[in-house]
Structure 1
Amino acid sequence: MASDVAQTAKDGASHVWDSLQGAVDGRKKAGADRVEGIVAAMREAADAFDEEIPPVARYMREAARGLGNASDALRERSVGDLVETAQDFARRKSGLFLGLAALGGFALVRFLNSSKPSERGPSGGPTGRGAVRSTELTAS
């Protein structure tokens, strides 16, 4: 009886994991496609800088190459491989990993804050309970 319950739970967890992996694989492809678009834009920008600022063009191409490699890895490797690589990197370069995680967290917070509906009124000032209305200022 207990072994049947354990087997059922194991089968259910396996099914959930398979579904999750399928969803993540679809997101991986979309993410890789987006990164490839960024790489193309970076290469175009580098071409534009070739004449005027060659060192900037060179750095942009190097960054584009690195992003292209990341895009390829994202597309070709399994979720498990990507997690394992991240864990290995975290073990080998823990300080850098923590710094990148903090930077990613700050970027995520800024993104989420910028995508929230504005809490500013039409004049650009704050709205809500603590806001002073222009009619209150002229009534004094």
Structure 2
Amino acid sequence: MNNNQMADASHSSSDTDTSIGSIASDLRSAAADKYGEVVKEARSMADHTKSDVADEVKDVASALRRASEELRKGSAQERTLGQIASTIAGASESIRDKDLGEILAMLSRAGRKNPVLFLGGAALLGFAASRYAKASADQGTSGDAQEHFRKKAQVDDFVGEGNPNNQTVGSMP
């Protein structure tokens, strides 16, 4: 190889490195943009769901309050149901006012302090969630539901792929 050929090969290699660097930069930028979009959509869905759950919990509190009003005034049952209704109504407002991280931390602390209350609350929340799911299914059209579940599946896939707990040792970078 003569000096001109070596210079051309060196120059070509430099151009290739620059090209690869540019492509890598573009890919990083596109991935960051897509990640931002997914996070924004996930937060939007979480806020919407949080609001709906708060409404359902409030409805449960209202139902308990109505049930307590039908009991004998001043009875232990009436007072107990009234107190439970007030507590649940307060929880509804807490759900609405706090962000998702705060809610999860609060639930974790409550579960450690009083596991029986936590399990009862989980059962009640399950009841409210099933009511919400049934009401949502009745209101939405099948196209809306399919779009919702498609978006949810995309978020679940994205979150699952980025979760180191979901990766096997061979697939870790």
Number of matched pairs: 103
Cα distance in structure 2, aligned partners of 1:42 and 1:84 = 27
1:31 is aligned to 2:40: no
Q: Give the number of the structure whose alpha-carbon radius of gyration is greater.
A: 2
**1: CA distance, partners of 2:29 / 2:113:** 38
1:138 — aligned with what?
none
Of the candidates 23, 32, 38, which is equivalent to residue 10 of structure 1? 32
Residue number in structure 2 paired with 1:133: none
Distance in 1 separating the partners of 2:86 and 2:114: 25
Name 2:78's counterpart in structure 1: 57
When residues 37 and 95 of structure 1 are mapped into structure 2, their CA distance, relative to the original with a 3 A threshold, is closer
Aligned-residue offset at 1:11: 2.8
Distance 1:81 1:9 in 2: 28
Structure 2 residue runs without a partner (length 5+): 1-20, 135-173
Match for residue 105 of structure 2? Answer: 84
The one-letter amino acid of 2:60's match is I
For 1:78 and 1:56, locate their aligned partners in 2 and report how far apart those are by CA, in whole Å. 34
Letter of the 1:19 partner, please give it. Answer: E
The answer to whether residue 67 in structure 2 is matched with residue 45 in structure 1 is yes
Question: Does the Cα contact within 8 Å between 1:21 and 1:79 map onto a contact in 2?
Answer: no
State, as a whole percentage, how many aligned pairs show the same letter: 20
- Bigger proportion of residues as helix: 2
CA distance in 2: counterparts of 1:14 and 1:86, whole angstroms: 27
Instruction: Establish whether residue 66 from structure 1 lines up as the match of residue 87 from structure 2.
Output: yes
* Contact preservation (8 Å) 1:50, 1:57: yes
Return the alpha-carbon distance in structure 1 between the equivalents of residues 81 and 55 of structure 2.
19
> What TM-score comes out, normalization by structure 2 length?
0.48
- Maintained 8 Å contact 1:43/1:60: yes
- TM-superposition CA deviations, 1:11-48 (whole Å, max 9, x none): 32221111011112111112211221221111111111
* More contact order relative to length (CA 8 Å, sep ≥ 6): 2
